[in-house]
């Protein structure tokens, strides 16, 4: 195979790579995130404050979160009620983030999902 042929083959292989990575990562990210939420943790792995009754919070709401690929992005769709817990508007209300803040670094566990998706796509 000539260098030109090899470059063309590489170009074909890389075509659509970001979209394939997002499609592979979406269900895996949801699985990792669901595990954190069901354990009462935010995306950074830090535990959420318990409810006044001493129970884990938001378990029912977080089970309604979905994930899908949209082009080269992974979209998490959250129930509107979770916005209140992401950034409470009332003083003294506990913060229980379900997604990283805009512009924040991707949490380690979430980053591993994308790294694994990249590796898997490049191996194929």
For the chain, give every domain's residue range. Answer: 17-123
Q: Which stretches of the chain are DSSP H helices? A: 3-14, 17-38, 59-62, 81-86, 108-123
In angstroms, rounded to a whole number, what is the distance separating the alpha carbons of residues 46 and 36? 9
Q: What's the pTM?
A: 0.85
Report whether 96 contacts 42 (CB < 8 A).
Answer: yes
Report whether 61 contacts 82 (CB < 8 A).
Answer: yes
The string of pLDDT tens digits covering residues 55-91 is: 998 989 899 999 999 999 999 999 988 878 887 677 8
Nearest to 47 by CA among 18, 4, 61, 58: 58
């Amino acid at each position: 195979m000539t260098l030109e042929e090899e470059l063309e083959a590489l170009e074909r292989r890389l075509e659509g790579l970001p979209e394939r990575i997002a499609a592979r990562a979406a269900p895996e990210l949801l699985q990792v995130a669901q595990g954190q939420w069901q354990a009462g943790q935010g995306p950074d792995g830090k535990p959420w404050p318990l409810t006044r009754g001493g129970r884990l919070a938001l378990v029912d709401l977080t089970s309604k979160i979905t994930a899908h690929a949209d082009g080269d992005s992974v979209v998490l769709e959250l129930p509107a009620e979770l916005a209140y817990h992401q950034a409470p508007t009332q003083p003294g209300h506990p913060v229980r983030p379900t997604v990283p803040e805009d512009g924040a670094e991707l949490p380690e566990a979430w980053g591993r999902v994308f790294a694994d998706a990249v590796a898997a796509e490049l191996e194929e």
